[in-house]
Amino acid sequence: MRKEYILTVYSENHIGLLTRITNVFTRRKTNIDSLTVSESALQGIYKFTIVIHCTDAMAVKLVSQIEKQIDVLKAFYHTNEEMIFQEIALYKVPIEPIYESDTIEKIVRKAGARILEITKDYVVIEKTGHKEDTQALFEELNQFKVMQFIRSGRVAITRDPIERLSEFLKERDAFLTSLD
């Protein structure tokens, strides 16, 4: 059964590695719904958060083929239930409706969004949440003709009480030391 999976990949920061990782999906004709890359809490180790729709068996194979890449330290896959995740969305809305009524203000309050910037032409609103939430806010704001809308890729943290990456790195360090 196909469902949404969140893959997290920890890697060295080498040129070309992004292509190597995305190629694993290309080969298996799997679309990447969202992709976020940034440095992890550990200096020099980069974290990819990749959202895909696939079967459980496919998620397992994708992870093992990603891990096979030389510069990848470790890859995991999780269901949405196993992770706490968020996306951030920005909305640029014309200023006039704000002068005319308090509807936008009410929408922003109700959605738990916040206003980042107000100019004489537009207002920029920020909302963090799941895609359904940021999308719902877009639908509501769009009655005022949203000028620009952007949603980030997903960032996610495991609910697991065991920090598997830290465990993994400890084991790996011990292994590398044993080679000396």
Partner 1 sequence: MTAKKVTGSQALILSLMEEGVDTIFGYPGGAIMPVYDALYDFDKEVKHILTRHEQGAIHGAQGYARVSGKPGIVLATSGPGATNLMTGIADAMIDSTPLVCITGQVAEPLLGTDAFQESDIVGMSIPVTKWNYQITTPEEIPGVIAQAFYIATTGRPGPVLIDVTKDAQFGELDYKYEKCTKIRSYVPETSIDPHQIKAAAELINEAKKPLLFVGQGIIISHAEEEVKAFIEKTGIPAAWTLLGLSALPTDHPLNVGMLGMHGNYGPNKLTNEADLIIAVGMRFDDRVTGKVSEYAKKAKIIHIEIDPAEIDKIVKTDVAVLGDAKKALKMLIDNVNPNNHENWHNEFKKCDAIENEKVIQKDLYPTKPGLTMGEAVRIVSEKTNNEAILVTDVGQHQMIAQRYFGFKKSRSNVTSGGLGTMGFCLPAAMGAQLGAPDRTVVGVVGDGGFQMTIQELGTIAQNKLPVKIMLLNNNFLGMVRQWQQLFFEKRYSFTELHNPDFITIGKGFGIPGHTVDKREDLDASIKKMLDHDGPYLLEVKIEKEDNVFPMVPTGASVSDVILEP
Tell me which residues touch partner 1 (CB under 8 A): 11-12, 14-16, 19-20, 23, 26-27, 60-61, 64-65, 67-68, 70-73, 172, 175-176, 179
Least distance in angstroms from the C-beta of 33 to partner 1 = 22
- Among residues 30 and 80, whose Cβ is nearest to partner 1? 30
Instruction: List CB contacts of 122: < 8 A, sequence separation 6 or more.
Output: 92, 93, 94, 95, 147
- Among residues 13 and 38, whose Cβ is nearest to partner 1? 13
**What CA–CA distance (Å, rounded) separates 28 from 57?**
12
Least distance in angstroms from the C-beta of 34 to partner 1 = 22
Instruction: List CB contacts of 38: < 8 A, sequence separation 6 or more.
Output: 46, 47
Least distance in angstroms from the C-beta of 8 to partner 1 = 15
How many CB atoms within 10 Å of residue 35?
Answer: 17
CB 141 within 8 A of CB 91: yes
Least distance in angstroms from the C-beta of 44 to partner 1 = 9
3-state secondary structure of 78: strand
Instruction: List CB contacts of 44: < 8 A, sequence separation 6 or more.
Output: 12, 13
- Among residues 41 and 176, whose Cβ is nearest to partner 1? 176
Least distance in angstroms from the C-beta of 51 to partner 1 = 22
3-state secondary structure of 11: strand
- Among residues 68 and 130, whose Cβ is nearest to partner 1? 68
Block residue for tokens 């100019």: 119
- Among residues 26 and 142, whose Cβ is nearest to partner 1? 26
